Amino acid sequence: MLGSIGVVSSDVNEALTKKILGMTLDEIIEKELKPVTGELKDPKQRYKIIRAFIEPIYLSLLKQDIQEQDFAKLAEKIKKRSESEGEGGDGHDPTQKNSGEADGEFLFDPFGYSDESSVNPDSIISQKQIEDILRQFKKQQEYVNKTPEERAEISTKTIKNEFDKTHNIDATAREIYEKQRHATEDYRIQMRKFWKSLIGRGVTTIRQSVRGQMHGEPNVDDYIKRRAEIEDGMQSGSLRKMPIYNRKQLVRKFDQLPEKICVRAVADMSGSMDETKIDALQKALSILLLSIKDFNYFLKNDKQNTLRVYSEAYVFGSSFQKIKEFPKTLQDTTSPKEDASIISAFGYLSNTLGSTDDAAVLSSIAKSIDQKDTKSLHEGRIRDIVFVITDGEPDDPDATRAKIDELIDRQKSCAYRIANWKCF
C-alpha cells in the first residue's frame, strides 16, 4: 500500500480523468465497483467491468512504462551499485545500513520514499529478485519485438522441449527425427493416399433396410410389440413418434478387413552402412512409422472401424536391439506415448553394430508370435508384415532365408527383405 502522499504522473492522471461512456474512471469505480451498504455487487458483473475498462488502461500504461525503460542499463547500474557497496567503497561502512538497504537487502523503492516509516515492508526484495524481474522484463520485451513467425517458432520449440523432457527423449533423437520428418514430407503425403485407398478398396457402400427408425415403412413386428402403447397414446391424444419403421439407408460394409495389422521394421546398422546409407535408412523408417501414425488417426475418425496398425522396430548388426515397442492398446496407437516412442527410436540410428546377422532378429520375431497370434494370422484376423531394410548380403544367407520362409509359411507373415536399395 502507498503512504498518505502519492505522486501521479501526467500520463496516469490523463488516463484516470479521461471519460469513458461519459464517465471518468473514478466515477466508474464509485458507481459500479465500490461496495454499498445493504447492496451486494454481482462479482461477475464487477469482473466484466474491470476487464472492459480498468485492465486496458493498466496494460497500456504498463506497456508504455516498459518501453521507456532501459532494463539492461538499469540492471548494470544495480549490479555496479551492489558490487561497490559490497566492497565498502567510497568510505561507506558496510556494517551500517543506508536508506537503500534493509537487513542486507536492496530496498526496492519505485516511488522515491526515503522515510522508512512510510515504506511497506512487503516492498523490500532482494538483489537477486530484482535481477530476476529485470531479466523477465527484458526477455518479454525481446519477445514482443519479434515477428509473428518468430514467436510461433519459439512457442513450438518450447512445446517440443517440454514434451521431450516429459518423455525422456534424447536431444540427438529429436534432431534426427526433425531432420528426416521435414525431408520426407512429400513421401509421407503419398503414403497417406496409399493407406486411404487401401481401406477404400476394402469398404463397400450399400443401401439396406434399417430397423427402428422414426420414419419410413411400418415394421409389423415392432408395431405389434408396441400396440398397447400406441393405442393408449391415440386415446389420450399424446401419441408420440416411435421407432417402429424400416428405412433405407446407406451403410458401409467392411470386406474382410483384419482386426489389426502388425508392422515390424528391421533396420540394418552393420559396419557397411556408411553415412549416406544411414541417412537413407533414417528416411525410410521416418516414412514408414509416420505414415502408420497418420493412418491410425485416419482410422480413428471412423467410428465404425476398430482396425489399427501396430508398429515396432529393431536395429541389427552383430547383435540386435528392439528400439520401439508395439502400442499396448488401441488407444495407445494415437497417444503422445506413441509419438514419443517413434521419436526416441531415431536415437538408435547413428552408430553401427558390426556384421550383418539378420537371422538372429528374424528368429526372435518368429518366437514372439505365440499360438494365439498364429491362429489369428491363419484366420485372417491379424496381418503381420516384416520389413528388413539392409544394404547387402547377410552373414549367413541360408539362415536368413530359412527364417523368412518360417515367417511366411508357419506364421503366415508377409516378410520383405529390401536390399541394395537406392538412396533417396
Q: Do 373 and 386 have their domain in common?
A: yes
Q: What is the CATH number of the domain that holds 389?
A: 3.40.50.410
The domain containing residue 307 runs over which residues? 183-199+256-418
Indicate the burial class of 169 (C-beta count within 10 angstroms; 0-12, 13-18, 19 or more): buried
- Stated as kind and residue range, the H or E segment containing 386 is strand 382-389
Does the model's pTM come out above 0.85? no
Q: How would you write the pLDDT of the chain (424 residues) with one tens digit per residue?
A: 344 445 667 777 887 788 777 788 888 888 778 777 666 677 787 888 888 878 888 888 888 877 777 767 777 777 777 676 555 544 444 444 444 444 444 444 444 444 444 444 444 556 677 677 777 777 777 877 888 888 888 888 989 999 999 999 999 999 999 999 999 999 998 887 877 776 655 566 677 788 888 878 887 788 788 888 877 777 776 656 778 788 887 766 656 678 889 999 999 999 989 999 999 999 999 999 999 999 999 888 877 778 899 999 999 999 999 999 999 999 999 999 999 999 999 999 998 888 999 999 999 999 998 888 889 888 888 989 999 999 878 889 899 889 888 888 776 767 666 665 443 3
Q: Is residue 358 part of a domain?
A: yes
Q: Are residues 241 and 290 located together in one domain of the fold?
A: no
The verdict on 385 and 332 lying in the same domain is: yes
Q: Is 327 helix (H, G, I), strand (E, B) or coil?
A: coil
Residues paired with 251 in a beta bridge: 206
Shared domain for 278 and 289, answered yes or no, is yes
Q: Is residue 240 part of a domain?
A: yes
Q: Are residues 303 and 227 in the same domain?
A: no
Q: Are residues 276 and 391 in the same domain?
A: yes
Provide CB contacts within 8 A for 124, sequence distance 6+.
102, 103, 105, 107, 108
Give the DSSP H/E element, type plus range, for residue 191.
helix 185-200
Where helices occur in 248-369 by DSSP H, the ranges are 275-300, 336-345, 358-368
Does residue 316 sit in the same domain as residue 212? no
Alpha-carbon distance of 301 to 299, in angstroms, equals 5
Statement to judge: residues 281 and 348 lie in one domain: yes
Give the SS3 label for residue 277: helix
pLDDT confidence of residue 349 = 95
19 belongs to a structural domain: yes
Residue 73 located in a structural domain: no
Output the pLDDT for position 178. Answer: 95
529485470: which residue's cell? Answer: 134
Cα separation of 153 and 169, whole Å? 20
Report the C-alpha gap between 354 and 420 in whole angstroms: 18
Long-range contacts of 298-303 (CB under 8 A, 24+ apart): 298/192, 298/195, 298/196, 298/199, 299/199, 300/333, 300/334
Residue 386 · residue 239 · CB < 8 Å: no
CA distances from 314 to 12, 259, 346, 390 (A): 66, 24, 11, 12
Q: Cα separation of 197 and 332, whole Å? A: 24
Asked whether residue 160 is domain-assigned, the answer is no
Q: Are 25 and 15 spatial neighbours (Cβ–Cβ below 8 Å)?
A: yes
Q: What pLDDT does 362 receive? A: 93
**Are 354 and 271 within one domain?**
yes
Long-range contacts of 329-333 (CB under 8 A, 24+ apart): 330/306, 333/296, 333/300, 333/308, 333/309
Q: Are residues 248 and 269 in the same domain?
A: no
Count each helix (H run) and each strand (E run) in the chain, helices first. 16, 10
Smallest CA-to-CA distance from 394 within 263, 282, 281, 268 is with: 268
Domain count, the chain: 3
CA distance 142 to 56: 22
Is residue 147 situated within a structural domain?
Answer: no
Same domain as 195, residue 207: no
Which residues have C-beta within 8 Å of that of residue 307, sequence separation ≥ 6? 199, 257, 258, 259, 260, 261, 299
267 and 399 fall within a common domain: yes
Tell me whether residue 382 is in a domain. yes
**What contacts 28, CB < 8 A, 6 or more positions away?**
20, 49, 53, 54
- DSSP secondary structure letters along 32-93: IIS-BTTBPPPHHHHHHHIIIIIHHHHHHHHHHHHHH--HHHHHHHHHHHHHHHHTT-TT--
403 belongs to a structural domain: yes
The rounded distance, in Å, linking the Cα atoms of 280 and 287 is 11
